[in-house]
Chain A
Amino acid sequence: MAEKKSIQKQESQAIEQSERIRSGKVFLPATDIIETDNEIIIRADMPGVNEKAIDITLDNKVLTIQGCVDQDTPGDYQLAYSEYETGDYLRKFTLSDAIEQEKINARYKEGVLEVTLPKAEKMKARQITVTSE
C-alpha cells in the first residue's frame, strides 16, 4: 500500500572512500553558497538533525559538514505514503586559501546550518587607483 514518489533529496554518492559504520542512507544537503565582500556563507538544509549531532571539520582546506538524523518513526503507525526518505547528511567543500580558518562560525536553526567563513584580510578586494603622471 505504501506508494512511492520521486525522491526529492539527492543521495550522497561516493563522497567517502571508506565505508560508514552507521547504516542507512546519506544525503547531500541542498546548499546555498553566498559570497559577500567580507565572507562566504554556506547555508545547508539539514532538517531533522539535532544540533548536537552536527559535525563540522576542516582538514586541509576541505570543509566537511555532517549531520546525523534521529530516525524516529511514529510508534505503531504504518507508513502509508512516502515522498521523502530520512537519513544522515554529508557534504564536503574545498575552500580556497582565502579563508580566515580560525574565525569560522557555525549555527543551526530551524533545520538550516549556516557556516560563515570570513575572508582572509589579504584577499579582500582592494581598490587600486591608477594615477597618471
Chain B
Amino acid sequence: MYWTNFYNPRNPLSDIGRIQRDLHRLFNEYYPETQRAFPAVNIWTKDDSAVVTAELPGFTKKDVKLSVVDQDVIIEGEPVSEKRNEKEHYHRRERSRSMFKRSIHLPFPIDASKVDARLNNGVLVMSLPRAEEDKPKKIEIQA
C-alpha cells in the first residue's frame, strides 16, 4: 500500500504530526492574517509580578475593557467610529479598526485588586502582581 512507505510502526503519530506541520505551513503561507491575534502583546515577568503590554492605537481608555480571572487577563475593546463622511473615499486602508477580545494566560494567578493599567499614546501597560496566596512560602527548618 502506498502509505505504508511513510508509516513508522514505532511512532504511528509521527505522520499526523507531519501532516499537521505541513498544513500549518501551507496556511501560514497563504493566510498569514489568520495567525494574527489582535492586539499583539508582549509579556514581561519576574518572580512576583508580570507586565503585559499591547499596542492599541486609536483606542481610548473608555473603549478598552480589562478583566482578570485567576491566571488569565482578558482584554476586549470596540473602537469608537472615526467620523465618517459619505463623500470620503479610501485610497489605503491598512489600520485595523475592529472589535477584539483576547485572553492571555499568565504563569501565575493574579491579585485582581492590585492590577494597575494605563493606556498612553496607544500603548496599554498592565502591571499584574502575583496573588499573595500563590507566592512561594519560605519554611524554616526547626532542627
A-side interface residues toward B, CB under 8 Å?
5-6, 8, 30-37, 41, 43, 45-51, 73-74, 76-84, 108, 110-112
Contact = CB atoms under 8 A, between A and B. Distances in A.
26 contacts: A5-B35, A6-B36, A30-B96, A31-B92, A32-B93, A41-B88, A43-B95, A45-B55, A45-B57, A45-B58, A45-B95, A46-B57, A46-B122, A47-B55, A73-B44, A76-B46, A80-B50, A80-B107, A81-B42, A83-B37, A84-B42, A110-B57, A110-B119, A111-B56, A111-B58, A111-B122
Given A35-B91, A47-B55, 12 more contacts: A6-B35, A30-B94, A31-B92, A32-B90, A35-B88, A43-B82, A45-B95, A74-B51, A76-B46, A78-B46, A110-B57, A111-B121
Contacts of A82: 42-43
Nearest to A49: B121
B121 A74 contact: no
A33 B92 contact: yes
Interface of B: 28, 32, 35-37, 40-46, 50-51, 53, 55-60, 82, 85, 87-96, 107, 119, 121-123, 125, 127
Contacts of A32: 90, 92-95
B122 A48 contact: yes
Nearest to B96: A30
A125 to B, nearest CB: 10
Nearest to A108: B121
Contact of B59 (A79, A80, A110): A110
